């Protein structure tokens, strides 16, 4: 997605060759027209999959997941990183966060994801795939089916891409980074 790559190159900042900060348009401040375009890209790719739910993890995946779910006319569920006191019957999984360097529980209210649901998972970043693995666990607990995985940005050189594609999931990354050296991006499709 050309507009996204341009935003990454002009408004993104590398902390180092492994950590890309996109707070200027996605993870803190949201460029709504860019996110709207992302939703359209995901919709066009996944629209014939029979999706019944879009699922993401709070909070950075919510905007692109919403933009996709509204086009698909299906509910959006966001997995929580802490259990609120109002959650009655949660399912749990654990996720290791590379950027936070810690393992944390994630949870979802069981009543919102049911056996037979066809799920599209949308998230902001794919690196080692840990958030996806936790989500995959929750979806399996519900006996639902993952029919697609949409990532805004992927670091294809890390483990997550191979994990998802080797399991046979339909993966669409809107901006796929093949490598980073001295904070300079090499795009996977160039």
Q: Summarize the annotated binding site for xanthine as residue ranges.
A: 20, 27, 155
Phi, psi of 72, deg, nearest 5? -80, -15
φ, ψ of residue 30 in degrees (nearest 5): -110, 125
Q: Show binding-site residues for 5-phospho-alpha-D-ribose 1-diphosphate.
A: 127-131
Q: What is the spatial distance between Cα 34 and Cα 71, in angstroms, rounded to a whole number? A: 15
CA–CA distances in Å: residue 38 to residues 16, 83, 124, 138: 26, 29, 11, 25
State the binding site. 20, 27, 127-131, 155
Q: Would you say how long the chain is, in residues?
A: 190
- Burial label for 98, CB within 10 Å (0-12, 13-18, 19+), is middle
């Amino acid at each position: 997605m050309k507009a996204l790559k341009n935003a990454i190159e002009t408004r993104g900042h590398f902390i180092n060759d492994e950590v890309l900060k996109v707070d200027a348009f996605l993870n803190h401040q949201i460029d709504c027209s860019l996110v709207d375009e992302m939703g359209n890209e995901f919709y066009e790719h996944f629209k014939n999959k029979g999706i019944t739910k879009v699922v993401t993890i709070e909070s950075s995946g919510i905007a692109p997941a919403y933009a996709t779910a509204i086009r698909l006319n299906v509910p959006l569920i966001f997995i929580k990183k802490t259990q609120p006191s109002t959650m009655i019957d949660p399912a749990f999984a654990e996720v290791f966060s590379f950027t936070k360097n810690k393992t944390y529980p994630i949870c979802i209210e069981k009543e919102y994801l049911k056996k037979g649901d066809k799920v599209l998972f949308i998230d902001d970043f794919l690196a080692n795939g840990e958030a996806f693995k936790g989500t995959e666990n929750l979806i399996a607990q519900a006996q639902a089916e993952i029919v697609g995985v949409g990532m805004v940005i992927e670091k294809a050189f890390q483990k997550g891409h191979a994990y998802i594609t080797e399991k046979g999931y339909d993966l669409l990354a809107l901006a796929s980074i093949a490598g980073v050296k001295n904070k300079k991006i090499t795009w996977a499709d160039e």
